[in-house]
Amino acid sequence: METVDRLKFVRSALYVPASNGRALEKALGLAADMIIVDLEDAVPEDAKAQARGAALAYAKSGVGNRLLAIRANVYDSPHHADDVAALKDCAADFVVLPKVEDISEISDFGVPVLAMVETPAGLFNARSIAGHPRVAGLIAGINDIAAQTGIRPGPKREGLELSLQMIVLAASEFGKPRFDGVCNRLDDLDGYDAECRQGATFGFTGKTLIHPNQIASANAAFGPSAAAIAEAEELIAASRGGAQRFKGRMIESMHVEEAKLTIERSRHAMGDVIG
Ligand code: COA
Ligand code: MG
């Protein structure tokens, strides 16, 4: 299967600072479906060049069955030009571009791009960004959206709903995957678990993460449960085409298609297999 097609089955995308060798190594034993090696916010200014070298070497040595992305520095940063030159045709599956606001910022890396939408301009242009042929999917950058707009998300992310759904709608128009933003709260695993399920409810196909203890909830929320798989199989078997009653609700052919997708998703779990 093509790399871009595998992206739609990614439930958990773990950021790892490129400057943290210990965490890079550790990530190879974790059940995240995708690793995003970060050159941007997680890396101190004086470590940028070294981090870039480490990220490229890491990509070259391979990350098993997972997908690998490298996050470049933002378009107007002094490091961006060096990133573009170094990441061209790199061994990673994707390049993540932060704070994309306009399609003119999307360089040709030779590998597909995951565009982060994390500013008001990015949100209003999310549709053209998502439709760009080099863009394979969108990632929500919640911390930056909050910082730039004055939104102070409530415990259930009240205030952020419109921004999050603009990202989902833009990506889904083009049938492209979309990843929910990170949860900064490292010790509130119950709240985090609810946030994962909320992201799936909103229509995200996976979530970006910052810590190993966030992987299991994302894999559970964005992957079909055993019950959902069983129900999908039952629905397909029961379907006769057209409208009919199934377990007290109406189903039509679109529900059969949805059920087939559920089964397909269950077959492509990546992190669990090697975790
Ligand atoms: N990827 C892989 N391993 C990670 C990890 C990550 N993102 N975060 C932590 N770990 C590892 C640690 O190396 C440690 O392993 P060890 O005990 O075997 O050495 C273990 O998980 C526990 O880590 P912990 O002590 O709980 O984390 P911390 O307090 O040292 O670090 C953070 C907390 C937030 C600084 C760290 O998790 C991190 O850097 N996350 C990614 C940040 C990032 O990339 N941000 C940019 C995108 S928003
Ligand atoms: Mg950011």
Tokens 């994309």 identify what position?
Answer: 100
118 among annotated binding-site residues: yes
pLDDT at 210: 98
**E runs forming strands in the chain:** 12-17, 34-38, 67-71, 94-97, 113-117, 135-140, 178-180, 206-209, 244-246, 249-251
pLDDT at 270: 65
pLDDT at 275: 33
Q: Tell me which ligand sits closest to the C-alpha of residue 100.
A: 2
Q: What spacing in Å lies between the alpha carbon of 1 and ligand 2's midpoint?
A: 31
pLDDT at 267: 86
Element (H, E) at 60: helix 48-61
For the structural domain made of 3-223, what CATH number should be given? 3.20.20.60
Residue 26 beta carbon below 6 angstroms from any ligand 1 atom: yes
* Ligand 1 atom at shortest distance from the alpha carbon of 40: 46
- Interatomic CA distance for residues 16 and 37, integer angstroms: 5
pLDDT at 268: 80
Domain segments of the chain as ranges: 3-223, 224-275
pLDDT in tens, the chain (275 residues): 889 999 999 999 999 999 999 999 999 999 999 999 999 999 999 999 999 999 999 999 999 999 999 999 999 999 999 999 999 999 999 999 999 999 999 999 999 999 999 999 999 999 999 999 999 999 999 999 999 999 999 999 999 999 999 999 999 999 999 999 999 999 999 999 999 999 999 999 999 999 999 999 999 999 999 999 999 999 999 999 999 999 999 999 999 999 999 999 888 866 544 33
Residue 182 beta carbon below 6 angstroms from any ligand 1 atom: yes
Q: What spacing in Å lies between the alpha carbon of 98 and ligand 2's midpoint?
A: 6
Element (H, E) at 235: helix 226-238
pTM, two decimal places? 0.95
pLDDT at 24: 98
